[in-house]
Amino acid sequence: MYLVGETTHGHHQIEMACNTCHTSPFGGTEVLQDACVSCHGEELKAVSDSHPRSKFTDPRNADRVEILDARYCVTCHREHQEDITGAMGLTLPQDYCFNCHQDIAEERSTHVGLGFDTCASAGCHNYHDNLALYEDFLLKHAGEEDFLAINRRKALNSLQIYLDLNNPDMLEPSDVVVPDWIAVSTEISEWHSSSHQQAGVDCQSCHQPDEQSDGWVESPSMEVCASCHAPQMESFMLGKHGMRLKSGLPNMTPDMAKIAMKPDMSEALLHAELTCNSCHNPHDVNAMEAAVEACIGCHNSGHVNSYAASPHGQLYAQMHQGNLELKHAVTCATCHMPRVEVIEENHRVVRVNHNQNDNLRPNEKMIRSVCMDCHSLAFSIDSLADEALINNNFTGRPHHHIRSIDMAVERDSQIEVRDDSYQ
Ligand code: HEC
Ligand code: HEC
Ligand code: HEC
Ligand code: HEC
Ligand code: HEC
Ligand code: HEC
Ligand code: HEC
Ligand code: HEC
Ligand code: HEC
Ligand code: HEC
């Protein structure tokens, strides 16, 4: 009732938790700023934000701030103003780069004649994250073949490291204590071939997690999973699948979605809370089915439904038939839940980032975290800039070539020429 206008695509799930942004009823811009930074500060820092606040508190740039106060997030990302909100919550006209970079065409021959509404087009520049687009990076990866000779995809190793670290006795079928009233045996047989069985996580670990629990808990909550899998829980709560939990709201359900869900979804699934078990069967904890079959059960778009027939989908099918190694398959999760390397107890551990929004938009974020495991930079830029290719889930080659790398090479050669003549 008090909502002054719908919140953006990014925040619609938490719009009823007014105080996540309006942390004080009296605060204006400064209070909102602190809220934005408390949730987004780290991610912007991690990608070396090209326009951090510090650039604009520098007195040498004071004149630019007069035109457009880039010290504040809400200068560009306002809320509750659906009529002026564009992609990624941007509430400025497309060509706003003009305000501060009028001189670019004079300084760079490669940029003469380009319109300011093209600076931020796909594959050229982003306002915040240019990790895959800055000049030195473009130069370093010039001239690569579309398909790289080696596949650089990281292998998941957490189970192995867990076994090395803890060296537990693996559980034998006879070790398992199952209440005798449990007649169903599917759970037991699924569990027997799981990594939980290998790691010594038995029925009680989940169904009678602590002394306080009063006997057998029929449906263990996701807090039980989180007690052993804190990093996965943490990243889950940063993306659209789990973000409501972080703001103290009940879990997301498919019926609250703004994007399309499968129309034939059962009532039960439509209202089911999104938890770890939405993707993982808790007994066989199969990470492969979680990577495709689970996603397709909920999501519905041209992009999603084209996956199975796409070249990547075919790789996955071959893997299923046993004709291809797992690391060559490209699943929904390969792109949307990338594997990240962390150091834990002096071991290099590869974990799955459960925030599927972390590399989603702008989509150049996927270049380094995913595509460049197998493709060249140029091929990745061209593919991700092609909307038709996204819609058909990368079935075919990109239709246009983005000149970013060529421009970097051209400018580099000009600099060399100048240096030579100087000598
Ligand atoms: C995701 C963050 C976020 C959430 C959640 C949020 N707001 Fe806002 N709200 C903002 C921002 C940012 C502005 C400033 C918009 C601007 O300057 O154009 C704002 C502006 C407002 C204003 C106008 C204030 C003014 O000075 O004009 C009102 C009223 C308001 N919000 C009420 C609410 C209510 C009520 C809720 C919960 C039902 C809510 N907001 C939830 C971010 C949020
Ligand atoms: C309680 C934490 C929280 C607060 C406070 C918050 N955000 Fe967000 N924001 C999120 C989450 C979670 C998402 C959705 C996941 C994503 O896109 O990373 C999101 C999405 C976004 C997006 C859209 C990204 C896209 O992919 O479309 C923008 C832009 C954004 N936030 C900016 C802001 C700004 C500006 C503020 C301050 C007015 C703010 N946020 C306040 C958590 C927060
Ligand atoms: C001068 C305008 C401007 C300001 C100021 C600004 N942004 Fe953005 N923001 C953008 C644009 C444009 C995008 C679209 C993607 C891009 O170009 O990077 C964006 C995208 C985002 C995204 C989506 C993810 C990403 O990495 O691009 C988030 C989150 C975000 N902004 C948060 C913030 C926060 C938090 C602040 C304040 C600290 C802020 N922005 C200040 C213009 C701005
Ligand atoms: C409010 C002023 C302002 C706006 C608006 C702005 N920039 Fe910048 N930008 C700067 C400043 C200041 C620098 C630091 C270098 C300089 O002084 O030119 C910079 C640096 C850059 C760089 C150099 C790369 C880097 O990482 O340091 C690029 C590329 C860039 N901006 C692109 C853009 C694009 C694209 C837009 C529009 C989407 C944009 N800028 C909008 C002020 C602005
Ligand atoms: C990793 C944690 C975990 C382990 C280990 C585990 N379970 Fe479960 N189990 C669950 C969860 C979570 C549910 C609830 C699933 C749901 O609500 O959809 C469940 C549900 C069940 C159910 C009810 C099934 C139904 O259809 O309602 C039975 C029976 C069961 N488990 C037996 C077992 C037995 C026997 C073992 C040991 C061989 C075991 N579980 C090991 C997490 C676990
Ligand atoms: C008592 C601790 C414990 C609990 C509780 C627990 N797990 Fe695990 N889980 C482990 C260990 C140890 C491993 C193997 C090492 C690793 O992957 O971290 C593992 C592995 C996994 C894997 C990887 C499987 C594979 O083959 O790659 C998934 C998925 C998983 N767990 C999901 C869950 C879910 C979902 C729950 C809650 C229903 C849960 N776990 C509860 C300890 C636990
Ligand atoms: C949207 C589906 C989805 C949800 C929800 C989900 N997972 Fe996963 N999870 C996956 C996929 C897919 C993989 C394997 C990805 C791969 O092979 O690269 C995975 C891998 C894992 C692994 C093994 C790799 C690692 O990071 O150590 C664990 C453990 C795990 N998940 C635990 C959890 C827990 C705990 C939750 C709930 C907080 C959860 N997952 C929620 C899809 C999901
Ligand atoms: C139980 C249903 C369900 C399953 C299973 C599921 N999702 Fe989702 N997904 C959702 C819902 C609901 C949202 C939030 C949509 C919204 O806020 O409008 C979402 C959001 C997303 C988004 C962000 C979309 C955006 O525009 O910001 C991506 C990407 C995504 N899911 C990918 C996946 C992938 C990949 C898998 C499998 C590994 C998967 N999902 C499994 C229901 C599901
Ligand atoms: C090769 C990488 C790749 C694969 C494989 C892939 N996607 Fe995507 N996905 C993308 C890109 C890129 C986008 C577009 C991001 C953008 O620019 O907005 C996207 C967008 C999405 C979105 C958000 C679109 C929306 O409507 O908001 C969802 C949901 C999604 N994908 C789910 C899936 C599912 C489910 C699968 C598997 C059936 C899958 N994707 C396979 C790369 C991939
Ligand atoms: C694990 C390796 C791997 C990753 C990661 C990967 N791809 Fe691919 N991709 C392939 C392979 C292998 C093929 C060729 C399959 C075939 O020939 O049947 C392919 C095919 C393609 C094609 C079709 C090319 C054609 O000639 O038909 C496009 C477009 C594409 N990938 C884009 C991308 C993008 C964009 C990303 C990142 C979002 C990505 N790929 C991530 C391995 C990968």
pLDDT tens track for 26-77: 878 899 999 999 999 999 999 999 999 999 999 998 888 888 999 999 999 9
Q: How many domains does the chain have?
A: 1
Tell me the whole-structure pTM to 2 decimals: 0.97
Q: How many percent of the chain have pLDDT more than 90? A: 74
Q: Quick one: pLDDT at residue 423?
A: 43
**Residue 39 placed within a domain:** yes
The parent domain of residue 70 ranges over 12-92
**Residue 298 placed within a domain:** no
Between 69 and 186, where is the model more confident? 69
**Residue 28 placed within a domain:** yes
**Residue 82 placed within a domain:** yes
Buried b / exposed e over 395-421, threshold 16 CB at 10 Å, is beebeeebebbebbbebeeeeeeeeee
Residues with Cβ within 8 Å of residue 12, at least 6 apart in sequence: 6, 258
Would the pLDDT of 312 be above 50?
Answer: yes
Q: Residue 152 — pLDDT band, cuts 50, 70, 90? A: very high
Does the CB atom of residue 352 touch ligand 6 within 6 A?
A: no
**Residue 396 placed within a domain:** no
Whose tokens are 């609250």? That residue is: 256
Does the CB atom of residue 128 touch ligand 4 within 6 A?
A: no
Looking from the CA of residue 290, the nearest atom of ligand 8 is 38
pLDDT tens sequence across 222-249: 999 999 999 999 999 999 999 999 999 9
Looking from the CA of residue 280, the nearest atom of ligand 6 is 35
**Residue 48 placed within a domain:** yes
**Residue 74 placed within a domain:** yes
List the single range of 84-88, 107-111, 168-172 with lowest mean pLDDT.
168-172
**Residue 117 placed within a domain:** no
Cβ-based neighbour number of residue 243 at 10 Å: 20
Average pLDDT over residues 273-278: 97
204 CA to middle of ligand 5, Å?
10
**DSSP code of 341?**
E
Report which protein residue has its CA nearest ligand 1's atom 9.
Answer: 79
Would the pLDDT of 167 be above 70?
Answer: no
Does the CB atom of residue 282 touch ligand 5 within 6 A?
A: yes
Between 421 and 202, where is the model more confident? 202
Whose tokens are 């990338």? That residue is: 338
Q: How many percent of the chain have pLDDT more than 70? A: 95
Q: Residue 173 — pLDDT band, cuts 50, 70, 90? A: low
